[in-house]
């Protein structure tokens, strides 16, 4: 699942993943991500951090609190950079990895492949 409130970013990530043969579900905000996680139990969630209403960190927390939901990796994508504070906030929220969005989009196949192999 690709979660980002910016349609162009969502489309870019989804297009790259589909070109690699992955099925992709898209969510435009954290609230939609939580609902789709319940319904679809995706193999992996690529979660933007900064979104209106329910941000990516809160969405990750809510997903991790759902009893009986399969355990999928959540990779936090942020344009905030690599600050250790941002990384630890993402990990504390239940994310498995924190990635700089601009660099992470270029490494998307590697990031996805690594997490899906580990799952």
pTM metric for this prediction: 0.93
- Please tell me whether residue 88 adopts helix, strand or coil conformation: helix
Domains in the chain, number: 1
Q: Domain span at residue 94?
A: 2-118
Instruction: Render pLDDT for 81-119 as a digit per residue (tens, 0 to 9).
Output: 666 788 899 999 999 999 988 777 788 999 999 999 876
The encoded tokens of residue 30 equal 């954290």
Beta strand segments in 7-107, E: 26-27, 45-48, 74-78, 97-100
Q: Are 50 and 56 in contact (CB under 8 A)?
A: yes
Q: Are 54 and 63 in contact (CB under 8 A)?
A: no
Instruction: Render pLDDT for 6-23 as a digit per residue (tens, 0 to 9).
Output: 999 999 999 999 999 999
Q: Which residues touch 86 (CB under 8 Å, ≥6 apart)?
A: 49, 78, 80, 98
- Residue 33 is part of a domain; what is its CATH number? 3.40.50.2300
């Amino acid at each position: 699942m690709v979660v980002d409130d910016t349609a162009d970013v969502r489309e870019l990530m989804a297009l790259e993943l589909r070109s690699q043969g992955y099925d992709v579900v898209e969510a435009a905000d954290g609230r939609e991500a939580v609902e789709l996680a319940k319904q679809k139990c995706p193999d992996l969630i690529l979660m933007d951090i900064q979104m209106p209403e329910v941000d990516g960190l809160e969405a990750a927390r809510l997903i991790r609190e759902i009893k009986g939901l399969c355990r999928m990796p959540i990779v936090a994508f942020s344009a905030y950079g690599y600050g250790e504070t941002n990384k630890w906030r993402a990990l504390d929220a239940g994310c498995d990895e924190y990635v700089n969005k601009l660099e992470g989009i270029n490494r998307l196949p590697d990031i996805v492949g690594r997490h899906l192999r580990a799952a």
